[in-house]
A and B are shown apart, each in its own frame.
Chain A
């Protein structure tokens, strides 16, 4: 019992977390012949809230057929609450020494009690503007590509689809450019 509690509070190694994430693909197929993916929910949320007078065709469909998917991300939020608040890891993220030196060279403090840096996520006007703007890129890009890390990198590559190879190549190229050039430039 003590052992189980210990595990619930600890961060999980990649060889435990990775297979569990991969199992989402067969689990969704088995439960209801669903394709595992998260970013479609952003479209459903737009479809739910689109005012009558705006009328963009892309959001005119029966979102109620996708209720299962919205229920899934509500669950994701609850799971995040359990793992990040109730069973929060008491230790800071154990970054590699190289990564630690890098974020410190950018002017960020070493990770403390949160998964994300307070320098970027504390609710100041500057931070919220930055997060919102980067969020626009995430939302636009995932819908343009028809999926995100879950739908393309995991479901798409697991089912051997060329489309997802292109998407993952694009995602990684964009991420490298941001992480190597834009982050040091904009956040230092």
Chain B
């Protein structure tokens, strides 16, 4: 159990920040897609800049071990284009409607929102549907 504790704490920090940043707010997401405030763009830009700077630092430091002894490797996504564009577009359609992407869904379920639970149930069915149709959609 002890080895999972850092993940529990990191997840808690993430959920806390998502709610405090109002990234789990439908209102904020509509505001973002209509370019009516810098708030969400500021969050995304500084998050990416921080991630990018840390990853560059990790690369610069060379081979390092993670806490559990594994060698740290920067993950690489499989090559492709269609699946990323199409999948992103379908996900974006849903995100624009209900203003919740997967992280905020879990954070909002934690606040006891029945509506967010319905989104999670839908997202699980959507995931299952993709698994079943995987070989029939272009990649």
Contact = CB atoms under 8 A, between A and B. Distances in A.
A143 B97 contact: no
B37 A76 contact: no
Contacts of B113: 116, 121
Given A56-B132, A115-B25, A22 B75 contact: no
Interface residues of B, number: 115
Nearest to B139: A144
B48 A158 contact: yes
Nearest to A73: B106
The winner among A19, A131, A157 for most chain B CB atoms within 10 A is A131
Contact of B33 (A154, A160, A179): A179
B59 to A, nearest CB: 9
B75 A159 contact: yes
A138 B41 CA distance: 21
Contact of A180 (B33, B70, B95, B127): B33
B106 A80 contact: yes
Contacts of A76: 11-12, 14-15, 18, 103, 106-107, 110
Interface of B: 4, 6-31, 33-34, 36-52, 54-55, 57-58, 66-68, 70-81, 83-103, 105-116, 118-132, 134, 137
Given A50-B128, A159-B76, 20 more contacts: A12-B21, A17-B23, A30-B67, A32-B66, A42-B124, A56-B132, A72-B7, A78-B11, A83-B15, A84-B24, A115-B27, A134-B98, A137-B97, A138-B98, A138-B100, A145-B87, A152-B84, A156-B77, A174-B91, A174-B93
